[in-house]
Amino acid sequence: MLEAQHLHLRNANVDPVYFESVRLAFFEGLTFPGYQQWWELSKGLFEPSFRDRVEEMLIEARQQGYESSFKSSGTQTPGEPA
Q: Sign (positive/negative) of CA torsion 54, 55, 61, 65?
A: positive
pLDDT at 60: 92
What is the DSSP secondary structure assignment for residue 6, as one 8-state letter? H
pLDDT at 5: 65
Q: Which residues of the chain have pLDDT under 70?
A: 1-2, 5-9, 11-14, 68-82
